[in-house]
Structure 1
Amino acid sequence: MLTGTVRRAQGGLYEVETPDGVIEAVLRGRLKREQRTGEKVVVGDRVDVQRESTGEEEAWTIENVHERTTVLARKAPGKAPRPKAIVANVDQVLVVFAAAKPDPHLRMLDRFLVIAESSDIAPLIIVNKVDLIGIDAARAIFAHYERAGYTVMYTAAKAGLGVAEMGEALCGRLSALTGPSGVGKSSLLNAVQPGLGLRVSAISEAVNKGRHTTVTAQLIPLECGGWVADTPGLRELGLWEIDRDQLHFYFPEFENLLDDCRYPGCTHTHEPGCAVRAAVDAGHIHPGRYDSYRRMYAGEQEEGGWDG
């Protein structure tokens, strides 16, 4: 029996990094029947594997999946209400958006941040392709996230801008790289660690959206230490298992105002004497962020319905 970390999962076959090297394993039948939150095994999971001999052939099976310390999950596409785990046991999530091509969808960014905050995973915002519009224009779009307390890095994979700083943020940690399709996640990883050769694709000029160049999540070892999970680009992002009454805790710019509302249990949507709404009116909270909060509180999911 060996313990290892799942590096890649596709088609029922799992690539596991163990002390004895990388092996391929399948899931033990009883584990397939057990009910677990989200997928039974995802990239980043710690698993116990065992080798079995059948005649002249040897095969590895996953016998046990360790308890996850963190899990990044979203609502699975479709009508059936169920979670879809993206990656497990990460220390931080780097949320990548492009300054242009495709144009940044900030309400989607807000959803990524809420998912990270609610999962107790530290988020880091990466704004890529800043060379397309200039660093000053990019900062103007994303400056209110910095004011809210988030760390924002500005990069241009092709020009090498910000690549070294992003590499430093990845070293020694288990990180997830996520974001919409076409924002340059794989290009950034290729720039951070030359020689990876991850597949990249151009933006469709017709729809200004990227193609899915990463089709399955994979855990990539870094030469400087640590791992990074390159995840498929997402075009939809539904919230899963987030308590609506806890939602205000996942907007850090609200934190110092929550005790100043007139009414206990204030929803910050309509009540008089709401300190959050007053901060929006005074320009201390960005109206776009507040609009995202209201939409999420009201249950306006990109895939429909509140899942809390």
Structure 2
Amino acid sequence: MDRFIVLAEQQNLEIIICINKIDIDTSEKYKEIYDLYKSAGFDIFAVSAEENIGSDELFARLRGKVSVLAGPSGVGKSSIINMIDPKIAAKVGEISKKIERGKHTTRQSELLELEKGTFLVDSPGFTSLDMSGIEPDQLQYYFREFNKYLPDCRFTGCMHINEDEKYCGIKSQVGKNISESRYHRYIDIYNEIIDERKR
């Protein structure tokens, strides 16, 4: 998910995180994810398309906007749309019959009008994301919880990886105001970008 977020942050898009299928999460692990991203400053919704949990709140947040549902295959993006507006489910089902494909498989992006002025784009699931357009030294700005502490870095060009914690505003906050998991994802994505540029 963090790769999606980085790409959206780079384009200065408004980000809403939606956790689906909470009805099958009997151990309520989703609450850890919810708290993690909420504390990082994101709008986040926990829903169940199957049980119609959270649809009104999510729709209220999307009203009056053009929104794109993006995520890996199988997370239930189309089901979320159908939960928000059951009329869409009927339309998608009819189209699926005409082109002889399963209605649960999105193969192309479709712009769907939920009401006047409110649109959703149902997009195919992604198996990989191209991070090559991200400059390594810009990545830090796409982790929004870093922003408050960037001025505390003593040295220009600090990448918050190999620097001494005493001189790095970001590393000094890991485990306090910056979650360890998000910080480690930052390092992973940073290294991925660097490795890609070496090829």
Normalised TM-score (structure 2): 0.86
Contact 1:149 1:253 in 2 (8 A): yes
AA aligned to 1:164 is D
Superposed displacement of residue 297, structure 1: 1.3
* Structure exhibiting the larger radius of gyration computed from Cα positions: 1
**Residue 172 in structure 1 maps to residue 64 in structure 2:** yes
Distance 1:136 1:182 in 2: 19
Q: In the alignment, does 2:171 pair up with 1:277?
A: yes
Is 2:132–2:193's contact at 8 Å kept on the other side of the alignment? no
**Which one-letter code corresponds to 2:38 in the other structure?**
E
Structure-1 separation of matches of 2:197 and 2:121:
28
* Match for residue 157 of structure 1 among 30, 46, 49: 49
Letter in 2 for 1:298: N
Q: Which of the numbers 2, 7, 10 marks the counterpart of 1:118?
A: 10
How big is each residue's C-alpha offset from its partner over 1:210-258, in whole Å with a ceiling of 9 and x where there is no partner? Answer: x971000011111253211110011212214111111111001100110
Number of residues paired by the alignment?
185
Q: What residue in structure 2 maps to residue 146 of structure 1?
A: 38
Q: Is the 1:219–1:229 contact (alpha carbons within 8 Å) kept by the matching residues of 2?
A: yes
Partner of 2:183: 290
The higher-RCO structure (CA 8 Å, 6+ apart) is 2
Alpha-carbon shift at residue 134 of structure 1 (Å): 4.3
Taking the aligned partners of 1:185 and 1:165, their CA distance within structure 2 comes to: 16
Q: How many angstroms apart in 1 are the aligned matches of 2:83 and 2:27?
A: 19
Give how far 1:283 is off: 2.9
1:5-50: per-residue Cα shift (whole Å, max 9, x none)? xxxxxxxxxxxxxxxxxxxxxxxxxxxxxxxxxxxxxxxxxxxxxx
Counterpart amino acid of residue 10 in structure 2: S
2:132–2:196 CA contact under 8 A, matched in 1: no
Q: CA deviation at 1:119?
A: 0.4
1:292 CA drift (Å): 1.1
**5+ long unaligned stretches in structure 2:** 94-102
Structure 1 unaligned residues grouped into runs of 5+: 1-108, 200-210
Q: 2: distance between equivalents of 1:168 and 1:131?
A: 21
Could you state the TM-score of these two structures normalised by the residue count of structure 1?
0.56
Partner AA of 1:187 in structure 2: S
For the 8 Å contact 2:34–2:46, the answer to whether it is kept is no
Quote the Cα distance in structure 2 between the aligned partners of 1:306 and 1:166.
39
Higher normalized helix content (fraction of residues)? 2
SS of equivalent to 1:176: strand
The alignment status of 1:232 with 2:124, answered yes or no, reads: yes
Picking from 265, 268, 282, the partner of 2:160 is 268
- 1:152-191: CA deviations, max 9, x gaps? 1000001110011111122211111110101111011011
Alignment of structure 1 residues 25-36 onto 2, 5 Å: none
Contact 1:171 1:224 in 2 (8 A): no
* More strand by percentage: 1
Contact 1:239–1:306 (8 Å) recurs in 2: no
Contact 2:134 2:193 in 1 (8 A): no
Indicate how the Cα distance of structure 1 residues 224 and 155 shifts in structure 2: closer, same or farther if over 3 A, else same. Answer: farther
Cα deviation 1:40-72 (Å, max 9, x = unaligned):
xxxxxxxxxxxxxxxxxxxxxxxxxxxxxxxxx
Q: How far apart are residue 136 of structure 1 and its match?
A: 4.2
Task: After TM superposition, give the deviation of residue 137 of structure 1 in Å.
Answer: 2.9
- Asked if structure 1 preserves the Cα contact closer than 8 Å seen for 2:153 and 2:170, the reply is yes
